[in-house]
Amino acid sequence: MTFKTLPQDIVWRNGRIATMNTDLSIPYGLIENHDLVVRGNQIVAIVPTSEIEIDGNQVIDVEGRLITPGLIDCHTHLVFGGDRASEWEQRMNGVSYETISAQGGGINSTVRETRKMSESALFQRAKPRLEALINEGVTTIEMKSGYGLDYENEEKQLKVAKRLSVAYPITVSSTLLSAHTVPPEYKGKADEYIDLICQKIMPELWTKGLFDAVDVFCESVGFSLKQSEKLFSAAQRLGIPVKGHVEQLSNLGGSELVARYKGLSVDHIEYLDLEGIKALKASGTVAVLLPGAFYFLRETKLPPIELLREHQVPMAISTDFNPGTSPFASLRMIMNMAAVLFKLTPEEVWAGVTCHAAKALGRGDSHGQLKPNYVADFVVWDAKEPVEMVYEQGSNPMYMRVHEGIITHTN
């Protein structure tokens, strides 16, 4: 049966298309001798070249290059003030984190700098980080708050994320992470701070349309299970999706809590156990792996990759870009780390930055795969095989980047 194009359709021809289509059983969902048909901001068809009827359409011949979905960076803390380079140097010289924190360092130093900076200054600081990711093929990104820790400054961070989504050809998913740590003014009063989030920060910023999901750092140095559940319960009443920084330093059962609330994702999860994994499988929650933080902190406790595979829990991969534990604005480098440090296969790595990352953002029905009715976000690589982007670092094989059907970058 012949597929008939409409006059406005753009036909992408002669590409090796790694669709990452989860309905296909072939590696990477890779198909050849097919045309990718884009109408407006959507993919309308992927059909054999011999079965398409061209009628004056624009045809873009990629001359045998590889086409993949655009990369998705599903866990970042991209907007913040200051940096922690001097603290890192102290740590490399043998100074303990406890000593640095006692001197006013750690996350609270980033909170101080973020609070001091204006919205415009934070926007300018975030731009080169975002540009670096875009230039590697990222078309969708998550940005968390969590360095303001009060109403005014959490709002400021989220407004910067919104401005970045307007200024750049990229889809931004914003997450409220006010429950990142207890701010200095609430020291010893974590319950009161959770009440502030539940009663004011979260409902008012949600009403303003400034975020898409709510997150919490459920950990011995963060918030307890009881406090995290109070936050999730309040979010549920407002219809807000939840996710969690959990099981990074210990096993508190945070993943099971997120799963009970049908959360989008659990992130870090080095200490995740079998019961937690079974809960994730039952809830459809994505496990987000963050090898950059594992590497930067010289961790030795690996996430339970084999158990996640065995129970078929989808594994996403992200940069976790942040000033304290993963200052890496390169998702491709993180892809390599995921393969080398976590022993994921290259195909698992690709799923981790496409279809599984999309699901971790609640966008699994529209992003992260090349198939009809999905958003036309894709990258043309000067390469033949998907493994090439995982394998070689330091070069940039991106040939074209397409966001919502529009070519944004060409080499």
Burial classification of residue 273, based on how many CB atoms lie within 10 Å of its CB (0-12 exposed, 13-18 middle, 19 or more buried): middle
Q: For 306-318, write each residue's pLDDT tens digit.
A: 999 999 999 999 9
Task: Count other Cβ atoms within 10 Å, centred on residue 410.
Answer: 10
Reduced to 3 states, what is the DSSP secondary structure of residue 85?
Answer: helix
Closest CA to 2 of 67, 62, 48, 36: 48
Mean pLDDT, rounded, for 299-303: 96
Place of tokens 């959507």: 42
**Residue 69 pLDDT > 80:** yes
Pick the more confident residue, 100 or 215: 215
In the chain, the percentage of residues whose pLDDT exceeds 70 is: 100
**Residue 223 pLDDT > 80:** yes
Which pLDDT does position 328 carry in this prediction? 98
**Residue 102 pLDDT > 90:** no
Mean pLDDT, rounded, for 84-101: 88
Mean pLDDT of the chain: 97
**Residue 97 pLDDT > 80:** no
Which pLDDT does position 106 carry in this prediction? 85
Q: For 143-192, write each residue's pLDDT tens digit.
A: 999 999 999 999 999 999 999 999 999 999 999 999 999 999 999 999 99
Mean pLDDT, rounded, for 24-32: 97
Which pLDDT does position 1 carry in this prediction? 77
Mean pLDDT, rounded, for 279-300: 97
Q: For 316-341, write each residue's pLDDT tens digit.
A: 999 999 999 999 999 999 999 999 99
CB of 343 closer than 8 Å to CB of 301: no
Which pLDDT does position 99 carry in this prediction? 84
| Whether the predicted model's global pTM rises above the 0.75 cut | yes
How far is Cα 237 from Cα 228, in angstroms, rounded to an integer? 14
CB of 154 closer than 8 Å to CB of 121: no
CB of 79 closer than 8 Å to CB of 160: yes
**Residue 291 pLDDT > 80:** yes
Torsion angle of C-alpha atoms 110, 112, 116, 119, degrees rounded to 10: 40
**Residue 96 pLDDT > 90:** no
Which pLDDT does position 42 carry in this prediction? 98
Mean pLDDT, rounded, for 361-365: 98
Which pLDDT does position 39 carry in this prediction? 98
Topology, domain 3-69+369-410: Urease, subunit C; domain 1 (2.30.40)
Q: Domain segments of the chain: what residues?
A: 3-69+369-410, 71-360
CATH architecture of 71-360: Alpha-Beta Barrel (3.20)
Which pLDDT does position 387 carry in this prediction? 98
Q: Which two tokens stand for residue 390?
A: 């995982």
How far is Cα 37 from Cα 162, in angstroms, rounded to an integer? 30
Confidence of residue 411 (pLDDT cuts 50, 70, 90): confident
Q: For 137-154, write each residue's pLDDT tens digit.
A: 999 999 999 999 999 999
**Residue 98 pLDDT > 80:** no
Which pLDDT does position 80 carry in this prediction? 98
Which pLDDT does position 28 carry in this prediction? 98
Which pLDDT does position 101 carry in this prediction? 75
Q: Which two tokens stand for residue 18?
A: 């790694």
